[in-house]
Amino acid sequence: MDSARSSGSNGLVAFHWEVQPAAGTLVQDLLMQICARSPTAQRLAERLLQETGTRLIDWIDHLEVPDLPGLAERLRAAGFAAAASDSLVVLRHAGGLFPPVMLTTDGSYALHLKVESVVDALAAHEMSVPIAGAPLAPLRRARLADEAAQVWVCERHGYSGFDVRAITPERAAQVLHHSEVFLTRRRAFAQSAEGFVHALALVDAAVRDLGMDLACELFFAAERAYWQRRNRAARIQKARQDALGLGWANHDHHTYRSSRAHFPVMIAVFERLGFHCRERFYPGHNAGWGAQVLEHAGTGIVIFADVDMSEDEIKRDFAHQPFPDEAGRPLGTVGLWCALHGESFLEAGMHHLEATFSFEHVRAQLEQLGVHSMPPFTDYPHLRQCFTVGDRWSVAPSRIDHLLAATLITSAQAEQFRKEGAIGSHLELLERNQGFKGFNQQGVDRIIAGTDPRTQH
């Protein structure tokens, strides 16, 4: 079953991700079978919805269900395929966002939930039970309930398998070292190019010591921490999720804004971590910006990288070929944001993190906590999206002076930025259904235009 169609046009390869209703229905049915056998899973589903605005399905690491007659065939017909996993029978879906399904031969059912820290999860639930896997091991897990269906929490460190592996003290020390290096990475430089050279050296060292998958996992944990410190909505929602010991394990994608000058070098750093370029994105006629979507096979991390561009430029390999050096080129929404705040990859941090929720529940709950959201820019049965209202950041006077001298902003805009600052980052609220893996190319342009600093008063 084809889940994503691709077509070539003037060198542009477009991925058309499709909804997977058969797979979506089947996974929901398997989850219901597990919940019917586990009061713990039922209670947790209720708490997740009411206390975090998320759904149980948003947190599934993998499912274990009996290999009943016909189930493997139903899974394959829905787009799942057997994956190499030692002696285990595991099926994965390459064309949709679904958890792996493990078929058991002893009739057992189990729900495995993804969390950033097993210890935090156990502490949140006031449980003291054995943890399989040493601290910082590739996979750690602990059992929350041993009912007719078991419930587990899983913590992963750059590993997608299912065996609990040992970790040597030397490697654990390396993990801690590179985690600290990424968390304390210098971000402010007189010349942005120096910042990318510095970051690339850190990435190369981590990849050399740890491999791409673990280096990638550590890098983006640090990126989320930096963004969170600068975004109020993120801190409030993270506290809600931490109350249940979850962390940001429900992240969907990480969005970076880049100037035209530094876009290819930013992509090069991501590729050094093991990312591959997926679809290119242009939201419509005269939008003035586009994006490259990247995905990391080993961790599942996704990047949405924004940059100012023309409609014609989307047809070229802009992720790897430098944009023309056009002094005085008018700044679009993305370029102005970078000129005011700095590169997302450096001092500004991510423009937003998008995580998966129950769309209506999380919006209503955050509203009650004083976190307002912007109008939805996607409202389909399979995809719903909106930004929280962005945090306003102060702008360095030197940045405003430079833009004014280059006639890239008006005197009135300069005065506005001096007095009021400019919108910085957001949390993006998302609900995906039927395994849909793509994005809304049209609707997003309206909301991005609404985040242009020149329109914010």
How many whole angstroms separate alpha carbon 284 and alpha carbon 289? 9
How many whole angstroms separate alpha carbon 48 and alpha carbon 388? 20
pLDDT confidence of residue 442: 64
Q: Which two tokens stand for residue 140?
A: 């750690």
348 in Cβ contact with 338 (< 8 Å)? yes
What CA dihedral angle connects 20, 21, 23 and 28, to 10 degrees? 130
Distances from the Cα of 17 to the Cαs of 75, 117, 402, 421, in angstroms? Answer: 19, 32, 42, 38
Q: For the segment 122-159, what is each residue's pLDDT rounded down to a tens digit?
A: 999 999 999 999 999 999 999 999 999 999 999 999 99
pLDDT confidence of residue 7: 39
Fold that domain 10-156 belongs to in CATH: 2,3-Dihydroxybiphenyl 1,2-Dioxygenase; domain 1 (3.10.180)
* Residues forming beta bridges with residue 392, ordered by sequence position: 423
Count the Cβ atoms, other than its own, within 10 Å of residue 9.
8
DSSP string, 321-348: SPPP--TTPPP-HHHHHHHHH--IIIII
pLDDT confidence of residue 283: 80
Distances from the Cα of 396 to the Cαs of 257, 326, 365, in angstroms? Answer: 18, 24, 34
pLDDT confidence of residue 10: 39
How many whole angstroms separate alpha carbon 313 and alpha carbon 292? 12
To 10 degrees, what angle do helices 212-229 and 169-183 make? 40
* Residues forming beta bridges with residue 386, ordered by sequence position: 429
Q: Which two tokens stand for residue 105?
A: 């031969």
**pTM of the predicted model, to two decimals?**
0.94
Residues with Cβ within 8 Å of 358's Cβ and at least 6 positions away in sequence, in order, are 49, 53, 54, 55, 431
Nearest Cα to Cα of residue 314 among 335, 342, 289, 348: 289
118 in Cβ contact with 154 (< 8 Å)? yes
Q: Which two tokens stand for residue 144?
A: 């929350």
342 in Cβ contact with 394 (< 8 Å)? no
The upper half-sphere exposure of residue 355, i.e. CA atoms within 13 Å in the direction of its Cβ, equals 26
Q: Where do you find CATH 3.10.180.10 in the chain?
A: 174-455
How many whole angstroms separate alpha carbon 196 and alpha carbon 200? 6
Q: Where do you find CATH 3.10.180.50 in the chain?
A: 10-156
pLDDT confidence of residue 437: 95
Could you say which residues of the chain have pLDDT below 70? 1-15, 85-86, 441-457
Q: For the segment 170-205, what is each residue's pLDDT rounded down to a tens digit?
A: 999 999 999 999 999 999 999 999 999 999 999 999
Fold that domain 174-455 belongs to in CATH: 2,3-Dihydroxybiphenyl 1,2-Dioxygenase; domain 1 (3.10.180)
